[in-house]
Structure 1
């Protein structure tokens, strides 16, 4: 079995000068925080330009976050099909995947 070589992709977030991310704040990959911005304790910053949202706004966070393509950017994988889920190492349910070493 041949292993698929995965090329790392750029997955950074940009924080403008004097930006602040407080304890348990999250800045999602491919997010740009403007200068002098602040992500409060436990809140999430998503998108470019960043939307800073409270943790209870799951649907609004997801609306922006799904377009940022976390599995594609980090693992080089597409999202599983409707009704499917991902298992260990990014395997789609019922389809084992061997990690690249």
Structure 2
């Protein structure tokens, strides 16, 4: 269907996924932790109206204590060890609601 639409010049069907704010926050954290810049804490607060610690304070404190996350210049980063255990770290950013 997709290829047929492209070959005939028709616009292919789009699939649009609507994310809840909770889902969007989780995605934001996952994506930024995978990047070199980490999670920019001021941007997170600007986007979601509360600091990251409001939503994830307990988890971040635990991950810092385990030396899986570190904070520098208002950015939260995976440590080398945290990157090796990335799935575990990301799992901590899944919120039950």
**TM-score when scaled to structure 2?**
0.28
The structure with the greater share of residues assigned to helix is 2
Relative contact order higher in (CA < 8 Å, ≥ 6 apart): 2
The structure with the greater share of residues assigned to strand is 1
